[in-house]
Chain A
Amino acid sequence: MNEEHHNTKVDTTWAKIYALVLGVLVVIIFLLYIFTQHFQ
């Protein structure tokens, strides 16, 4: 039971980390879009 709870907690933490990575990618693409438009 404890191990299951621990595993779920670990999985949730990793899900948050993966969401962060994907969020950073979206922000980078958006910033590059602004950058390209601004200096064109």
Chain B
Amino acid sequence: MSGIDWLVLCFTLLSIIGYGIYKSRGTKSMQGYLLADRQLPWYHVGFSVMATQASAITFLSAPGQGYTDGLRFVQFYFGLPLAMVVLCITFIPIFHKLNVYTAYEYLEKRFDGKTRLLTAFLFLLQRGLSTGITIYAPAIILSTILGIDILYTIVANGVLVISYTVYGGTKAVSHTHLLQMSIIFASLFLAAWLVVHLLPENVSFTDALHIAGKMNKLNALDTEFDLNNRYNLWSGLIGGFFLQLSYFGTDQSQVGRYLTGSSINQSRMGLVMNGLIKIPMQFFILLIGVLVFSFYQFHQEPVFFNKVETEKLQHSSYSKEYQELQSAFQKANAYKLSCVNELVEAVHAKNKTAIESTGHKLQIAEAQSRAVKKQVQVLIEKNNALADSNDSNYIFLRFVTEQLPVGVVGLLIAIIFLAAMGSTASGLNSLASTTVIDFYKRVIKKGGSDADYVSATRKATYAWGVFCIITAIYASKLGNLIEAVNILGSLFYGTILGIFIVAFYLRKVGGNAVFISALIAEVFVVGAWLMELTAFLWLNVIGCLLVVIFSMAFQKLSKK
């Protein structure tokens, strides 16, 4: 990175942090520190909710996923607008009326203390691990750019976010989210424009889409019902609905965001905004990855996008094999380039027969090229069993740093940091508030002062920060990060959502029935995942339905 890029990066980050600190100065009460005094307007709520979900992983992994897997991941978000409607009708009015700090407080009012504690514990477990992964993601950037061990970048990133979150609390988090999302949106449009601008002169935006389409990258909709297919219309609508409902309705990192709304209607509007914008936004980010894929059809594509691993390979005993594979890759790509040029000519001539035949040739050429890449991955694993052999998280980063102009590189790196700071801050904030409100205040120190609890929340933020840093250190073995976070969420969200569904809609079911059902459902969900019985999105549906069905059955049995 050039000096100007570093300047842009530092200026953007410091401005945002400074703005957050300025806006949150003088916050001393619990209501102020955890809920921003419940005074925020709908657009603050909307941007805050979006910034919490859109972590650095979104901007690192999603374009990589678009590059390798096409647009099909967009279907994952189909259930989100449906979930927003249900939340607006049911969850928001109840949480607002009960004046709760965390979603789990409601469960004690509805059931009993043990159900509240169990649900809060499941949340802490999954959110703690997920936040660790969100710290890891931007650490890859520094590690690759500075060429230093990822361990140091994880610790440095974690410490920066911890200190910022501890100082600012929810008020700072929500105010910075607004600014962060504005910069992120502007930068993404700039990035997309630049990718198209970097294509050869005779290749237009639609030509790039034709190339990607012929290589199965524009698979945005799959209507076939298949339980083992991760992303299709049905898993997105049904599984995605349950996952998003659970995430936004029962995950404190999100509940804490919309509880800051100044009224029920302001919170609702914030979620409606999220429901309308999320799918187009995700489509756009994946499309950037697809356009980067088209770009590399005309330029030398790296055989493996993680430079650190290929450099290790070059200096290993496998160096000769690696060089042979590299030249095989270049040959395969040269042939592919000729097919791509043929396709562009056919598209310009509107010759449908030629488009079909060159499209078929192109797919074969692409398969040959992928086969060589796969061999390089195997070689990397052979050379170092602990190596990160999945390079999808490095694709966008490598493209940005090598292809984009000075200044823009710094800006795009900054948005990845901003996104990381936004979601990690929300994560740490919710972990600390749940620890203090649902455990410390409920079990250890009842009737303490506001100052006691604010101080305890700050200490809890530190402690969770350390836990998340340790998790981040182990996160590099999880493959595609965005999927890892979603799989982790799916292991717990279904059960948690089931508890809330029973609480809201099955008024006759009591605490004991739902508590036992939740334990059984969780064991079943983890078992189903370990045995790979179904694609992960369906685990949300299974967990939720099991809690509901078992709760009703146990309640009936207990009456007899």
B-binding residues in A (CB < 8 A): 10, 14, 17-18, 21-22, 24-25, 28-29, 32-33, 35-36, 38-40
- Shortest CB-to-CB span from A29 to chain B, Å, is 7
A18 to B89, CA, bound (A): 9
Which residues of A sit under 8 angstroms from B82, Cβ to Cβ?
Answer: 22, 25
Task: Decide: A36 near B276, CB < 8 A? Known: A14-B88, A25-B78.
Answer: no
By Cβ-Cβ distance, the 10 closest A-B pairs, closest first, are A39-B213, A32-B220, A39-B218, A25-B81, A32-B221, A36-B221, A18-B85, A33-B221, A36-B220, A21-B275
Question: What are 12 contact pairs spanning A and B, CB under 8 A?
Answer: A18-B88, A21-B275, A22-B82, A24-B81, A25-B78, A29-B221, A35-B220, A36-B71, A36-B220, A38-B213, A39-B212, A39-B214
Taking A21-B275, A35-B221, A36-B71 as given, write out 17 further A-B residue pairs in contact, using a Cβ cutoff of 8 Å, ordered by the A residue number: A10-B265, A14-B268, A17-B272, A18-B88, A18-B89, A21-B84, A22-B85, A24-B81, A25-B78, A25-B81, A28-B279, A29-B78, A29-B221, A32-B221, A35-B218, A35-B220, A39-B210
B405, CB-defined interface residue at 8 Å: no
B280, CB-defined interface residue at 8 Å: yes
**Majority DSSP secondary structure for residues of B touching A:** helix
A29 to B41, CA, bound (A): 30
B219, CB-defined interface residue at 8 Å: yes
- Looking at the complex, which one of A14, A21, A38 makes contact with B276 (CB distance below 8 Å)? A21
Q: Which residue of A lies closest to B220 (CB)?
A: A32
Which residues of A sit under 8 angstroms from B265, Cβ to Cβ?
Answer: 10
Q: How many CB-defined contacts (below 8 Å) exist between A and B?
A: 51
Interface size class of B (residues with CB under 8 A): 20 to 34
**Majority DSSP secondary structure for residues of A touching B:** helix
Which residues of A sit under 8 angstroms from B276, Cβ to Cβ?
Answer: 21, 24
Contact A25 B221 (CB under 8 A): no
A10 to B268, CA, bound (A): 12
A21 to B71, CA, bound (A): 22
Q: Which residue of B lies closest to A23 (CB)?
A: B81
User: Which residues of B183-242 have CB atoms within 8 Å of chain A's CB atoms?
Assistant: 209-210, 212-214, 218-221, 223, 233
Q: Which residue of A lies closest to B274 (CB)?
A: A21
Q: Which residue of B lies closest to A30 (CB)?
A: B221
- Shortest CB-to-CB span from B257 to chain A, Å, is 19
Which residues of B sit under 8 angstroms from A24, Cβ to Cβ?
Answer: 81, 276
User: Which residues of B245-291 have CB atoms within 8 Å of chain A's CB atoms?
Assistant: 265, 268, 272, 275-276, 279-280, 283
A35 to B74, CA, bound (A): 13
A4 to B88, CA, bound (A): 20
A25 to B213, CA, bound (A): 23
Which residues of B sit under 8 angstroms from A35, Cβ to Cβ?
Answer: 218, 220-221
Which residues of A sit under 8 angstroms from B219, Cβ to Cβ?
Answer: 36, 40
A24 to B80, CA, bound (A): 12
- Shortest CB-to-CB span from A9 to chain B, Å, is 13
Which residues of B sit under 8 angstroms from A29, Cβ to Cβ?
Answer: 78, 221, 233
Q: Which residue of A lies closest to B268 (CB)?
A: A14
Q: Which residue of B lies closest to A40 (CB)?
A: B213
A17 to B364, CA, bound (A): 48
Which residues of A sit under 8 angstroms from B88, Cβ to Cβ?
Answer: 14, 18
Which residues of B sit under 8 angstroms from A39, Cβ to Cβ?
Answer: 209-210, 212-214, 218
A36 to B212, CA, bound (A): 11
- Shortest CB-to-CB span from A39 to chain B, Å, is 3
Contact B279 A25 (CB under 8 A): yes
A33 to B218, CA, bound (A): 10
User: Which residues of B74-128 have CB atoms within 8 Å of chain A's CB atoms?
Assistant: 74, 78, 81-82, 84-85, 88-89
- Shortest CB-to-CB span from B209 to chain A, Å, is 5
Q: Which residue of B lies closest to A19 (CB)?
A: B85
Which residues of A sit under 8 angstroms from B81, Cβ to Cβ?
Answer: 21-22, 24-25
Which residues of A sit under 8 angstroms from B275, Cβ to Cβ?
Answer: 21
Which residues of B sit under 8 angstroms from A28, Cβ to Cβ?
Answer: 279-280
A12 to B85, CA, bound (A): 14
A21 to B210, CA, bound (A): 31
- Shortest CB-to-CB span from B436 to chain A, Å, is 34
A8 to B212, CA, bound (A): 50
